[in-house]
A and B are shown apart, each in its own frame.
Chain A
């Protein structure tokens, strides 16, 4: 990894930044199985382990299913545990993701978003993390390298918070963010250590003086109670995320909320979009604003839990909204973000018109012209009060 200082900033790719953040967090255990495009995280981090720069026990396993299984075992033993994956790797972890969240183990995973097979494709879309959206993991999406780096520290705090105790996933776009070099501001090692603190687990399987059982059978008399507890913890994670990101902002000067609103307050038409494509869309917002068009953007950061009240509050004044998904739910009714946003707006007396646009699957470029095209459709819906096409693929 080449890190070159430039005016106080450091040029890093998304992967190197995440590996660097992991080095600074210095987790106890990292079970890993590299997969494109998140391989760089594992490569760089394994160098830190080999160089003795961290105290982490790096476990090289034979599959992502094993990686998540080892994460669960290590976390149940009381360790702070981190890993990273993409695409098929996350898909292979699937059953273990539910076990991690059901056992309330605050594992932190970086998912470098990549399309799911078939056809096989190594490039960016959100079908991997969206496939895991109901697995009980907190999901935080990142627009930039800086944000992915910062999110990892916040994810540790949110996951381990006593009101939460749930695993957390930090998502960033494959190649677009993971492999692009960006000048970012690093936080000092001491400040990171102070911010993330020491992980104090409530239980440990290694505490032989106090034997415990993880993963016991529960029957109809108790299972629903545990799921209810988990559901309440997920609801609590929203408030904790607000609190932790406010603390992060106070300490390090970069302020993040539940979502990023761009020129939205006086807008009539807006795009809702996740991750790096928001940056492209913001350029389109600026161009259209110059022409006097009242457009804006909302980029959710926290997708699980879904902060529906806050997002409704930010969108309720609009006339029309296009929700852009980099994944298709294959329900013939729009992408996952579209369905969440549209559902959130339902309770309004007077709600904006909402349309679903699927873009950029398998790494297809999403350019400023595509964002402008989407905005033109939303502006038309805002003017006419009608949505001509509810669901449509763009960037085809």
Chain B
């Protein structure tokens, strides 16, 4: 995974390091920084959404009010979701990245 601009892009970088549009953080793949990868046991998960609230990278995927997994393009593997998942539930585990 690379975020390096091509040589042609470099000649057109906006002056002063301005990022001239919004939402560009989505295009920046921070998943490559990950050492530990989260996994969820949906049989235990209560969809309390605490992981969704706490994730600093907005990498918890939610559909129809249910937590369905992780956006591994952006998850840096910090493990906050696993820590914040309520102790009685412990549905999220961090494991060595297999890839």
Interface string of B27-68 (1 = CB under 8 A from A): 000000000000000000000000000000000000000000
For the residues of B in contact with A, the DSSP-based class is: loop
Q: Which one of B3, B16, B19 has the greatest number of beta carbons of chain A within 10 Å?
A: B16
Decide yes or no: A103 and B3 within 8 Å by CB, A211-B22, A222-B10 being known contacts.
no
Across the interface, which residues of B come within 8 angstroms of A203, CB to CB? 18, 20
Q: What are 17 A-B pairs with beta-carbon distances under 8 A?
A: A103-B18, A203-B18, A210-B21, A212-B21, A212-B22, A213-B18, A213-B22, A214-B17, A216-B17, A216-B19, A222-B10, A222-B13, A225-B13, A226-B13, A226-B16, A226-B17, A229-B15
User: Is A389 engaged at the interface, CB distance under 8 Å to the other chain?
Assistant: no
A102 and B19 contacting across the interface, CB-CB below 8 Å = no
Tell me which of B17, B21, B22, B24 contacts A102 (CB under 8 A).
B17
CA distance A202 to B21 in the complex (A): 13
Residues of B within 8 A of A210 (CB): 20-21
The answer, yes or no, to whether B4 is at the interface (CB within 8 Å) is: yes
CB-based contact B5/A221 at 8 Å: yes
Q: How far is the CB of B99 from chain A (nearest CB, A)?
A: 23
Q: Top 5 A-B pairs ranked by shortest CB distance? A: A104-B16, A211-B22, A213-B19, A103-B16, A104-B15
Q: Tell me if A222 and B22 are in contact (CB < 8 A).
A: no
Interface of A is mostly: loop
Any chain B CB within 8 A of the CB of A291? Answer: no
Chain B contacts for A215, CB-based, 8 A: 17
Interface size class on chain B is 10 to 19
Interface pair B10/A214, CB less than 8 Å apart: no
Q: Could you tell me how many residues of chain A have their Cβ less than 8 Å away from some Cβ of chain B?
A: 21
Instruction: Say yes or no for A302: interface residue by CB 8 A criterion.
Output: no
A222 to B17, CA, bound (A): 9
A214 interface neighbour in B3, B18, B24, Cβ under 8 Å:
B18
- Whether B19 and A202, one on each chain, are in contact in the complex, defined by CB atoms closer than 8 angstroms, is no
Q: How far is the CB of A266 from chain B (nearest CB, A)?
A: 45
A285 at the interface (CB under 8 A from B): no
Residue of A at shortest CB range from B20? A212
Q: Write out the residue numbers on chain A whose beta carbons fall within 8 Å of the beta carbon of B15.
A: 104, 165, 202, 226, 229, 233
Q: Is A105 an interface residue (CB 8 A)?
A: yes
Task: For the complex formed, measure the closest distance between the CB of A136 and the CB atoms of chain B, giving whole angstroms.
Answer: 11
- The CA of A226 and the CA of B24, in the complex, are separated in Å by 19
Contact (Cβ within 8 A) B19 A105? no
Known: A211-B22, A225-B10. A218 touches B3 (CB 8 A): no
Hey, which chain B residues are within 8 Å of A214, CB to CB? 16-18
What is the CA–CA distance of A216 and B13 in the complex, to the nearest angstrom?
13
Closest-CB distance, B8 to chain A (whole angstroms): 12
What's the nearest-Cβ distance from chain A to residue B2, in Å?
A: 9
Q: Tell me, rounded to whole Å, the shortest Cβ–Cβ distance linking B15 to chain A.
A: 5
When chains A and B are docked, how far (Å) is the Cα of A203 from the Cα of B17?
12
B13 CB, nearest partner CB in chain A, Å? 6
Which residues of chain A are near B4, meaning CB under 8 Å? Answer: 221
Contact with B along A85-102 (1 / 0, CB 8 A): 000000000000000001
Partner of A103, one of B10, B17, B21: B17
Which residue of chain A lies nearest to B15 when distances are taken between CB atoms in the complex? A104
Of A102, A105, A165, A222, which is in contact with the most chain B CB atoms at under 10 Å from its CB? A222
Q: In the docked arrangement, what's the CA distance between A213 and B24, Å?
A: 10
Q: How far is the CA of A202 from the CA of B14 in the complex (A)?
A: 10
Whether A165 contacts B20 in the complex (CB less than 8 A), given A221-B3, A221-B4, A222-B10, comes out as no
Task: Give the CA-CA distance A364 to B4 in the complex, in Å.
Answer: 55
> Chain A residues near B10 (CB, 8 Å)?
222, 225
Residues of B within 8 A of A104 (CB): 15-16, 18
Nearest Cβ distance between residue A137 and chain B, in whole angstroms? 14
Query: Looking across the interface, which residue of chain A has its beta carbon closest to that of B2?
Result: A221
Point out the residues of chain A lying under 8 angstroms from B20, CB to CB.
203, 210, 212
CA A214 to CA B16, docked complex, whole Å? 8
How far, in Å, is B97 (CB) from chain A's closest CB? 22
Contact of A212 with B13 in the complex, beta carbons under 8 Å: no
Residues of A within 8 Å of B21, CB to CB, are: 210-212
